[in-house]
Amino acid sequence: MHTIKIVVLFISVILIAPFHATAGDFDGSKPLIGAVLELYTCQANDKCEAVTVEEINFTQFLMIDFKKAEISGTRAGGEKLVTPIKNRTAQDGMLMLQGVENGRGWTLSITEATGKMVLTVSGDEVGFVAFGACIPK
């Protein structure tokens, strides 16, 4: 069932969203759902490697609520997560969101024209990079 949801969202993001979404959909004026499509973990003095959300107990989908200034989701293990958006900046066609959670800093960048997203999380000698896409909620 989980795989079916991922496939349906992926098809929606790739095929449907470009025809119905406008640049204004990704400027922070509307709530978004972000789908993590690729995920990597990086250790100091080591190469980055592709991982799954299940392997690192992350969330497949990010619910981005600009009015509440928070991002939420459900980890692969079932735990709900909510993190506050501490900083929000729009510049050069990019919407940048930033925060801190559990001793790690994160930045989520969303391309306003397309909804494509990149999430970076950094901690003590470890980092994570997620690539994905957003659709209006």
Cα separation, 31 vs 137, whole angstroms: 5
- pLDDT confidence of residue 84: 98
Domains in the chain: boundaries: 2-136
**Given this model, what pLDDT does residue 16 score?**
45
Q: Would you state the pLDDT for residue 45?
A: 84
Task: Please answer whether residues 114 and 13 qualify as being in contact, where contact means their C-beta atoms are separated by less than 8 angstroms.
Answer: no
State the Cα–Cα distance between residues 73 and 94, nearest whole angstrom.
Answer: 22
pLDDT for res 24: 66
Report pTM: 0.80
Q: Are 82 and 63 in contact (CB under 8 A)?
A: no
CATH topology of domain 2-136: Lipocalin (2.40.128)
**Average confidence (pLDDT) per 10 residues, the chain, 137 residues:** 48 46 72 97 91 95 96 94 96 96 95 96 94 95
